[in-house]
Structure 1
Amino acid sequence: MWMWCLPHPQRDDQCLIILDVDGFETKEQEGDTTEIRISALALILSNIFIYNSKGTINEEALDKLQFITKISNYVEIRPNTGEERKCPEFLWCVRDSELNLWMDGFRLIADDYLLSILTIGQDTDGCSVSRCLKNLFHRQKCFEFSHPCPEADGTRMDEVLEGKLDREFQMQAERLRNYVLNSELESIMGGHNVNGQMLARLIETCVSSMCKGQRIILENLRDIVLCEKPTVELDKVTAEKGVKTTKVERIVPLTKPSAGSVMYDMQEPVCLIENSASGELRVNQEAVNILSEISQPVVAVAIVGLYRTGKSYLMNKLAGKLRGFSLGSTIQSETKGIWMMCVPHPLNHNHCLILLDTEGLGDVEKGDEKNDSWIFALAVLLSSMLVYNSMGTIDQYAVAKLHYITELTELIKVKSAGGDDESMQFARFFPAFVWSVRDFTLDLKLGSRIVTADEYLDNALKLKHGSNKKIQDYNLPRECIRNYFPSLKCFVFDRPADKEVMKNMDRIPDSGLDPAFVKQAHSFLKYVYSTAQIKRLKGGHIVTGRMLGSLALTYVDSIRSGKIPCLESTVHMLSEIENTAAVTMASKAYSEWMEEQVSLPTETVEELSTIHNRCQSQALQLFMKQCFKDEGQRYQQEFMNSVAKIYADMCEKNMKKSLDISTAIMRDLGAAMQEKAKNGSYAKPGGYAVYVKDMDELVEGYRAKPGKGVQAEKILQDFLENKQQFSQHLRIFDESMSAREKELAAEREKAEVAEQERKGREEEQRAAQQLLEDQRRAMEENMAQLREKLKQDQIKLHQEHDKVLKQRLEEQEKLQREGFQTRVKAMEKQIDSLKKQQKETESPAYLDRILDMATLMLPPQYKLIPVSVKLVKHLWTKFL
């Protein structure tokens, strides 16, 4: 049995201890008695006892649990007279599930299936597995798991990348984790809290009794474990035996992730938008700092509603925590402003789930409805799914309380120039709408027909015929709900528990709540996790955590200055911020990659060019991924200019480094010849022949030296040219040479210098040609990635049109059923206009037009190629 001690992820004052026991069918086991002893010890020590198996739960699976029936040979549980006996929960985890969860045409939940199997398997002799399970464990639950990774069958789980795991399996594992962490179980000592020292005494006592063959009586253990003075001085024994101890440090709730972190799991919320007593809104910088570290796409779920309706409880459930957002149990509102909690998305591991809990609307202590309207509007603007929480039923009173929706046209503008009816554009950018009805006591029936919660909502939002003021007031909020939001969903919840229990909802596990409420809450969580979309801006651009923080700042600044938040202006402002950041980030990445991969000097210009092209392509991908709405490719041009400058600087460094190294090599090799020239070794008969021999050896030695770089031939050319006058002087004064020999030697030297000059020119031309080739490739790479980027933007635009078109078609169908023919015809015009816009954006010509405009905005160096030649010549002449 192995132990792992961890700080409890959700309770600051508790320690989570995980016990992993040896498998029951390994060769190292000593027979059934070892298995039974281990099981008995696990039963005594645990709050939750997890039994792991594969396949299904049938008679054969129950037979493998026979060891449970023999635990009483080692552990005696005597009935208590003064207090209720507390035993652990039994969780049966069925891996690679083959459970047939259908009975009489109905799908069962796993718990019901387990209960049915245990009921069928129970006999009358009192020794069956099912009867022992019910006697030993105070609750039995079942969790089923699909195959974690079918494509990696037979591979160790710790060798399978998390991204390769089956989504359904991950969701099931997260469900088990949430259940275990949220369970509030009594201590194993029957109501007495057990600390680490007490648990150590418990283990020592139990193991000692088992080794002596004594039966363990649970009631007697309490007297031993709960005594004030330890029977054994554990620290002293540990020191004497030289046992290595591991210090477990408290893990502070994460407030700022490390650089490059993928997941962000906050243990407690922070205030995103503060709401002062005077009604002044202000963005909390700490929350903005947290969001600035989140580079993943965000799914933002906000909840709004009247105060004291249980909004925070649903947010905590979505976060997978019992405690988090403050619940409160009095008539006073607990949440002020908008609070935020960021957690990893349970289904999409590259996304961050951001939960926004708003202060209760209609707080009598505040008495400022304008302030409430702004809180509501901000929740709409920042979320991709909006949950409206209300109590009782959806009646006229409940709809009237949602009058904040009717005020959105006065609080939000789509375009800076305005329009005839901007509210018809809201469905493009507004979040999905979910109405949560708490403490619902009615039957879901319309007349005698049983209906779904969605049908109940549709019926509540039906419009009335007529044009008088009363009917207009009745229809207005319903029309806004139906027209502003792209989708509508409804959930009804039974009362979770009685009044006293609900005062401590943040300490009550699901087992202590009404099963119907728990089931409804589970359906709500599943819907939100699976359908809430990534937050997007106008045009379908994905919002990251960093961008969400910028949005909050922009919207609140507009409100504080007395302006109306404008979606179009906000997108433009945000695009400037993000695109500027994209230029900086991508340029920095290119520079760092070049520094890491280039070893100066390079032997050839092609070597540097190859690395440049690779790094530039990768940096361009980074830029394209982050930038959006780069109209006229202004920022793309800025990025390419930045890369061109960095590359030019790198070429300059490469040439300078080569110049320094080549010059140093030439200086070292020529030192001996320089000394001979000074002492006159060459200025005598036969000295020219010695000089020529030394020169040949020097050139040969120079060429043999590696790592000289791209200036090698040019330095040699300069050296030979500089030595021509000295060589000519030696030939003239060398009396041992005939006139003909001097003439031939001069011609040979002249040919050598000419040849070396040719090599230098070739090197220069190759560098110029390579730079032109680099620019050609850069242009092609830019156009290819730009085309791909525009295709993605085209898809996003299509999805945006498709979302609105779907909403309009559904609304048209409702109006048709309700008999509003005039409105149906007006809606038909809108639908035709949407279809026309969608057809235009889907056309290949649409993409070509944008691409042609982008080509006109390319950097000048991609059009004026001769400039490249001038640049190369400038670099060559700068160091010569």
Structure 2
Amino acid sequence: MLMIKHTQIFSLAVLLSSMFIYNQMGGIDEAASLVTQMTKQMTKHIRVRASGGRSSASELGQFSPVFVWLLRDFYLDLVEDNRRITPRDYLELALRPVQGSGKDIAAKNEIRDSIRALFPDRECYPLVRPLNNENDLQRMDQISLDKLRPEFRAGLDALTKYVFERTRPKQIGATVMTGPVLVGITESYLEALNNGAVPTISSSWQSVEEAECRRAYDTATEVYMSSFDRSKPPEEVVLRESHEEAVQKSLAAFNASAVGIGSARKKYEGLLQKFLRRAFEDYKRNAFMEADLRCSNTMQNMEKRLRAACHASDANVDNVVKVLDGLLSEYETSCHGPGKWQKLAMFLQQRSVYFSPFWWFTSLHFFLLKKETKLFCSPVWKVQYSTLQNG
């Protein structure tokens, strides 16, 4: 049971780190090394996929970190066949297959093969004893760095340089793990282990992808709603420009938070596009309805003022044209919407019934001659104005 717990902790450390430094005293001894024992057991406790049975060390190696085998109090001379070798050469020699046959040889080679497959990116750093005096070793925390052996300081500097140069954020595939992603996948592994199951990398990653893409979707919808400028007048072109600007901010927020390139991301990208279209259409429909209502209310007020102008005791064409000019200018600046001019044209045509047709037509004719207006560009008004002319 204790070995299982050790293997689980070792497996978690390997899966969650971007650089795994194994600290061991002395030379590489496969019989005594915890690495050899843990590596042999790891394939039993971690799987790459939910189906297909036990994963091989080489399959797990795709997700393994940079492996550094740190050898403390190293006492061996790095010599092979009477020539100096590097620490990396020493590591590779220790992991190469043993010649011979038999169960013991096969077991040794299986362990060595597993380590090479599980840690394809590996390095070795031996450090000599920092001090020769045994008494000084008992109070290491009180001794300054410059008092340590030069060979130790040189090895420590080389190790530190390597760690800073090679350490990177943890990745799965092309996805760099953020804090929330790392927490999510850790929780997924732990849940499986605590429930007596075998953690599966692909399943754990899929659950994290789903959660993070969902969070990215929620953030992106909030960004769109807060970025869409509702102070713009309800005109198609203006609203479309505001919509496109908010969409770009929303998509940027989604891409900044979403993880992975799989089905979860595609799913929430599709849902986001649907939300953006629906939100815009809903807002535009309501904005246009409110604009139409404002047009109607404004025209009711216009009717009252036009009646008063036409029925005044001193009414004449110039006075009516002046009132009409003011009303249409006010209407043009205060009212919006796609039906703005069509509604006005219909209003003016219908109201001609209530006033003297000749008087009404004369006033409009004078007005249109004096002022170019979008009203006259309306196809609806052109037909209705022509009808009044010919009537």
Q: TM-score normalised to the size of structure 1?
A: 0.39
Structure 1, residues 614-639: CA drift from partner, whole Å, max 9, x if none? 33234324433424233282221101
Is 2:236 aligned against 1:611?
Answer: no
Aligned pairs for 1:73-84 (under 5 A) are: none
State the 1:729 CA deviation: 2.6
| SS of 1:581 mapped into structure 2 | helix
Shift of 1:440: 0.9
CA deviation after TM superposition for structure 1 residue 490, in Å: 0.2
Is the contact between residue 175 and residue 259 of structure 2 (CA under 8 Å) also seen in structure 1?
no
Contact 2:47–2:55, Cα closer than 8 Å, also in 1: no
- How far apart, CA to CA, are the structure 1 residues paired with 2:182 and 2:244? 34
2:90 to 456, 467, 477: 456
The within-5 A match list for 1:778-857 is none
Counterpart-to-counterpart distance in 2, 1:608 and 1:727: 35
SS at match of 2:71: strand
Specify the alignment match of 2:385 in structure 1.
Answer: none
Select the residue among 80, 86, 104 that pairs with 1:470. 104
| Structure 1 residues 17-96: aligned runs within 5 Å | none
> In the aligned structure 1, how far is the partner of 2:129 from the partner of 2:335?
79
Q: Secondary structure at the match of 2:339?
A: helix
Does the 8 Å contact 1:496/1:513 carry over to 2?
yes
The residue correspondences of 1:181-200 to structure 2 (distance < 5 A) are: none
CA separation in 2, counterparts of 1:653 and 1:575? 36
Distance 1:759 1:569, change over 3 A: farther
Residue of structure 1 in register with 2:311 after alignment: 682
Letter in 1 for 2:151: A
SS state of the match for residue 8, structure 2?
Answer: helix
Spell out the pairing of 1:100-499 with structure 2 (5 A cutoff).
368-399=2-33, 402-419=36-53, 422-497=56-131, 498-499=133-134
Match of 2:386 in 1: none
Is contact 1:655–1:709 with CA below 8 Å preserved after alignment? no
Match of residue 565 from structure 1: 199
The one-character-per-residue Cα deviations of 1:202-251 (angstroms, maximum 9, x if unpaired) are xxxxxxxxxxxxxxxxxxxxxxxxxxxxxxxxxxxxxxxxxxxxxxxxxx
Match of 1:696 in 2: 325
What is the match of residue 813 of structure 1?
none
Q: Distance in 1 between matches of 2:360 and 2:183?
A: 82
Deviation at 1:660, TM superposition (A): 6.8
Whichever residue aligns with residue 731 of structure 1, its letter is S
Q: Which residue of 1 aligns with 2:272?
A: 639
Q: CA deviation at 1:757?
A: 4.9
- Between 1:413-422 and 1:655-664, the stretch displaced more is 655-664
Q: Compared with structure 1, are the counterparts of its residues 654 and 729 closer, same or farther at alpha carbon in structure 2 (3 Å cutoff)? A: closer
Residues 550 and 574 in structure 1, CA contact (< 8 A), matched pair in contact too = yes
**1:558·1:565 contact (CA, 8 Å) conserved in 2?**
yes
Q: Does 1:553 align with 2:182?
A: no
Conserved 8 A contact 1:493-1:517:
yes
Deviation at 1:429, TM superposition (A): 1.4
Q: Secondary structure at the match of 1:386?
A: strand
Give 1:673 shift.
Answer: 4.4
CA contact (8 A) 1:601 1:655 kept: no
Instruction: Compute the displacement of 1:731 (Å).
Output: 0.5
Structure-1 separation of matches of 2:28 and 2:39:
16
Instruction: Within 5 Å, give how 1:657-676 maps onto structure 2.
Output: 658=291, 672-673=305-306, 676=308
Q: How many Å separate the matches in 2 of 1:663 and 1:515?
A: 91
SS in 1 for 2:354: helix
Alignment of 1:630 onto 2:251: no
Which amino acid is 1:728 matched to? V
Q: Structure 2 counterpart of 1:445, which letter?
A: V
Per-residue deviation, residues 641-671 of structure 1 (Å, max 9, x unmatched): 1211232244246436655766676677777
- 1:386 offset after TM fit, Å? 1.3
In terms of mean alpha carbon deviation, does 466-475 or 718-727 score higher?
718-727
Q: 2:288 aligns with which of 644, 655, 676?
A: 655
Letter in 2 for 1:522: D
3-state SS of paired residue (1:511): helix
Aligned equivalent of 1:574, options 208, 214, 218: 208
Match of 1:602 in 2: 233
Q: Once the 2 structures are TM-superposed, how far is the Cα of residue 500 of structure 1 from its aligned partner?
A: 4.9
Q: Deviations over 1:656-715 (max 9, x none)?
A: 6655766676677777546x37xxx71769567754542233113433x3xx4642x734
Quick one: percent identity of the two aligned structures? 25
CA separation of 1:691 and 1:445: change in aligned 2, threshold 3 A: same
AA matched with 1:620: L
CA RMSD of aligned residues (A): 3.5
> What is the aligned partner in structure 2 of residue 730 from structure 1?
355
SS at match of 1:387: strand
Q: Distance in 1 between matches of 2:335 and 2:188?
A: 52
Counterpart residue type for residue 262 of structure 2: D
Q: 8 Å contact 1:601–1:654 — kept in the other structure?
A: no
5+ residue gaps in structure 2? 383-391
Gaps of 5+ in 1: 1-366, 733-740, 762-880
More helix per residue: 1 or 2? 2
Show the counterpart of 2:164.
529
Note if 1:714 corresponds to 2:369.
no
Deviation at 1:545, TM superposition (A): 1.6
Distance 2:303 2:142 in 1: 86
Contact 2:320 2:363 in 1 (8 A): no
Name the CA shift for 1:613/1:686 in 2 (closer, same or farther; >3 Å): closer
**Equivalent residues of 1:386, 1:433 under 8 A apart:** yes
Q: Residue 408 of structure 1 aligns to a residue in which SS?
A: helix
Residue of structure 1 in register with 2:389 after alignment = none
User: Is the alpha carbon distance of 1:699 and 1:600 closer, same or farther for their aligned partners in structure 2, counting shifts above 3 Å?
Assistant: same
| Equivalent pair of 1:384/1:534 in contact (CA under 8 Å) | yes
The answer to whether the aligner puts 1:588 opposite 2:222 as a matched pair is yes
Structure 2 letter corresponding to 1:387: I
Structure 1 residues 659, 453: closer, same or farther in 2, change over 3 A? same
2:155 is equivalent to residue 520 of structure 1: yes
In 2, distance between residues paired with 1:477 and 1:582? Answer: 43
Whole-angstrom CA distance in 1 between matches of 2:136 and 2:298: 87
Residue 382 of structure 2 corresponds to residue 758 of structure 1? no
Tell me if the contact between 1:728 and 1:746 (Cα under 8 Å) persists in the aligned partners.
no
Contact in 1 for aligned 2:234/2:288 (Cα 8 Å): no
C-alpha deviation, 1:374, in angstroms = 0.6
Residue identity matched to 2:353? Q
8 Å CA contact retained: 2:345, 2:380 = no
**Corresponding position of 1:211:** none
Counterpart amino acid of 2:323?
Answer: D
- Letter of the 2:238 counterpart: E
Query: Partner of 1:402: helix, strand, or coil?
Result: helix
Q: In 2, Cα distance between the equivalents of 1:484 and 1:470?
A: 21
Q: How far apart are residue 424 of structure 1 and its match? A: 2.9
Secondary structure at the residue paired with 2:232? coil
Residues of 2 paired with 1:494 and 1:464: CA distance? 27
Deviation at 1:430, TM superposition (A): 1.3
How far apart, CA to CA, are the structure 2 residues paired with 1:540 and 1:642? 28
Change (3 A) 1:573 1:756: same
CA distance in 1 between partners of 2:220 and 2:126 (Å)? 49
CA separation in 2, counterparts of 1:518 and 1:664?
A: 86
